[in-house]
Chains A and B, each alone.
Chain A
Amino acid sequence: MIETDIIIIGAGPVGLFTVFEAGLVKLKCHLIDSLPQAGGQLAEIYPKKPIYDIPGYPEVLAGDLIDRLMEQAAPFKPGFTLGESAMSIEETSDNQFIVTTNKGTEHKAPVVMIAGGLGVFQPRKPPVENLENFEDKGVEYIIRDPEMYQGKKVVVAGGGDSALDWSIYLIENNIASELSLVHRRSSFRGHLDSVQKVMDLADQGKINLITEAEVIGLKGNGTLDSVQIKHNDGSEIWKDTDHFVPLFGLKPELGPIADWGLEIEKNAIKVDTRDYSTNREGIYAIGDINQYEGKLKLILCGFHEGTIAVQSAFARIHPDKKNVLKYTTVNGVNGFE
C-alpha cells in the first residue's frame, strides 16, 4: 500500500504543478496516470505544439512545459504510478481514501485530487454491431502480448501508424498465420516507410490488404469466428478470423471516476469554486475535468485551481494547524529530504 498526503489522479500539467504547491505546505503527493509517462495530453498527443498563454513564456512547446513542471516538482519527490488507471475508491473509517488501479495497486491518502484532464485515454471503438460481446474473446484494442497471436488469423483495422506497425510486426516475425488489414480508404496516412513496407508485404502475398472497406459485423460462438466486411461499393464478405484488432487511436473519457459518487455536469465534475471541492468531502477536481459557472478549460486556470485546492487540503489534513501563506521569495523552495 502506497501512503501519501494527496493522491493526484492525472499526471498532466495541472497535476504536476499541484505537486509543487502541495510541497510548499509540506504535503506529499503521489500521482496516478493511465499513460506510461507523465505529461498527460500534452506529452501524449501534442508534445511539439506551441502554447502561448503560460505566464512568462511568450511561447513554450507542450513537451518542454511538462519538462519544466517536472523539474519544478522534483524537490518534493512525488511518487508515480504510471500505465495504470484509477478504478475504484473507498473511504476508510479513519477518513482516508484507498484508490485502487486496474492492476491492483493500492494508494492511501486523506485527500484525492482529480486532475485527469479530459479523462482517461481509452481506445476509440468502431461502430460495429456486436462489438462488446467479443471484447477479450477475439476483439482487442491494444496488442499487449504479440505471442497471443501466434499461429492465429488476425484482422487489423485502421489506417494510422499503429495499424501499420502491428501488421508489419505480426507478419515479419512470423506470428500471425494470416493477416488482413482493413482500411476505409485506398491510401494510408502513416509514416511513408511503414506504408511502403505494408504495400511490399501485400505484393508478396503476406498481408491481405482490404481497402475502401470497413468491418461492420462480428460472428462467433463464445469467441470470435469471423468478421463481416463491407466494401464501399456495397458488397459484403465474411472473413474467418481468430482476432479482430481495431486500431483507431485513443480518446479521453471520464472513465471509472464517473462511478465514484461525484456530481457530474456537462460530462465533467461539478465543484465549489471556494476550493474546487466536489460533493464528496476530501475529493477535489481541478483542471479541465471540473465544471463550474464561468469555467475556462485552460492550463492557466488549472494551475490556479490546484493552488487553492491545496490550501483546503492542508486544512483537512491538519485541522489544528494554522497555515500562514508564505512567499517563495522569502523562504525559497525547501524540498523534502
Chain B
Amino acid sequence: MADNMITIHIIDREGVTHDLEAPTDMNMNVMEVCKSYELPVEGRCGGMAMCATCQCYLESDHELPEQSDAELDMLDEAFFVKDNSRLGCQIHINDEIDGIVLRLAPEGN
C-alpha cells in the first residue's frame, strides 16, 4: 500500500461490503470516496452537514473526532438515527481511520 492510501470498508444497504482505497492527501471525506466509487450515497448538500443523505453507522472501534454542532443538529432531524450514527461528509480521510467499517443508513433521509 502506498504511504498516502488507506482502506475503508463500506457495508451497503444490501449488506455487501466494499473495500475502498482512499487517498489521504486529497482532502477527501467518506461521502466523496463513496460517490467516487459510485456507491449509492447522494450527498445532496455537497458535504456541508446540511442533509443526512450520507448518514452511516460506525461499526469498528475507530475513535473519530468529536462531532460538530452542525453535524449533531442535522442528525437531530434525520431519520433512522442510532447512537453510532455519523455523517459521512464529516469523516475526513486520514491515516487514523485506516480499516474503518461503516454501514450506510437506509435511504429516506
Bound complex: CA A22 to CA B79 (Å): 42
Interface size, A (range): 10 to 19
Please determine whether A297 and B46 come into contact, CB atoms closer than 8 angstroms.
yes
Of B48, B77, B106, the residue contacting A158 (CB under 8 A) is B77
Interface centre among A126, A158, A189 (most CB of B within 10 A): A189
Residues of B within 8 A of A46 (CB): 48, 50
Assess A127 versus B108: contact at CB under 8 Å? Given A189-B72, A248-B77.
yes
Assess A251 versus B72: contact at CB under 8 Å? Given A126-B79, A127-B108.
no
- Bitwise, A150-187 to B at CB < 8 A (1) or not (0) is 00000000111000000000000000000000001100
Residues of B within 8 A of A189 (CB): 69, 72-73, 76
Please determine whether A251 and B51 come into contact, CB atoms closer than 8 angstroms.
yes
Assess A159 versus B108: contact at CB under 8 Å? Given A46-B50, A252-B44, A297-B46.
no
Please determine whether A127 and B79 come into contact, CB atoms closer than 8 angstroms.
yes
Residues of B within 8 A of A297 (CB): 46
Please determine whether A49 and B76 come into contact, CB atoms closer than 8 angstroms.
no
Residues of A within 8 A of B44 (CB): 118, 251-252
Assess A159 versus B77: contact at CB under 8 Å? Given A127-B108, A189-B72.
yes
A-B contact count (CB 8 A): 33
A197 interfacial contact with B, CB 8 Å: no
Bound complex: CA A119 to CA B48 (Å): 18
A249 interfacial contact with B, CB 8 Å: yes
A45 interfacial contact with B, CB 8 Å: yes
Residues of A within 8 A of B81 (CB): 184
Bound complex: CA A126 to CA B77 (Å): 10
Closest to A249 in B: B77
Residues of B within 8 A of A251 (CB): 44, 51
Chain B nearest CB: distance from A52 CB in Å?
Answer: 13
Bound complex: CA A118 to CA B46 (Å): 11
Residues of A within 8 A of B80 (CB): 127
Residues of A within 8 A of B76 (CB): 159-160, 184-185, 189
Bound complex: CA A249 to CA B80 (Å): 15
Residues of B within 8 A of A185 (CB): 76
Chain A nearest CB: distance from B36 CB in Å?
Answer: 14
Closest to B50 in A: A45
A68 interfacial contact with B, CB 8 Å: no
- Bitwise, B68-109 to A at CB < 8 A (1) or not (0) is 010011001101110000000000000000000000001011
Chain A nearest CB: distance from B38 CB in Å?
Answer: 11
- Bitwise, A17-39 to B at CB < 8 A (1) or not (0) is 00000000000000000000000
Chain A nearest CB: distance from B52 CB in Å?
Answer: 9
Bound complex: CA A111 to CA B72 (Å): 43
Residues of B within 8 A of A160 (CB): 73, 76-77
Bound complex: CA A158 to CA B81 (Å): 13
| Residues of A in contact with B (beta carbons under 8 Å apart) | 45-46, 49, 118, 124, 126-127, 158-160, 184-185, 189, 248-249, 251-252, 297
Rank and list the top 4 A-B pairs by shortest CB-CB distance, nearest first: A189-B76, A159-B76, A248-B77, A249-B77
Given A124-B109, A127-B80, A160-B73, 15 more A-B residue pairs with CB atoms under 8 Å apart are A45-B50, A46-B48, A46-B50, A49-B48, A118-B44, A124-B77, A126-B79, A127-B106, A159-B76, A160-B77, A189-B72, A248-B79, A249-B77, A251-B44, A252-B44
Please name 17 pairs of A and B residues whose Cβ atoms are closer than 8 Å in the assembled complex, sorted by A: A45-B50, A46-B48, A118-B44, A124-B77, A126-B79, A127-B80, A158-B77, A159-B76, A160-B76, A184-B76, A185-B76, A189-B69, A189-B72, A189-B73, A249-B77, A251-B51, A252-B44
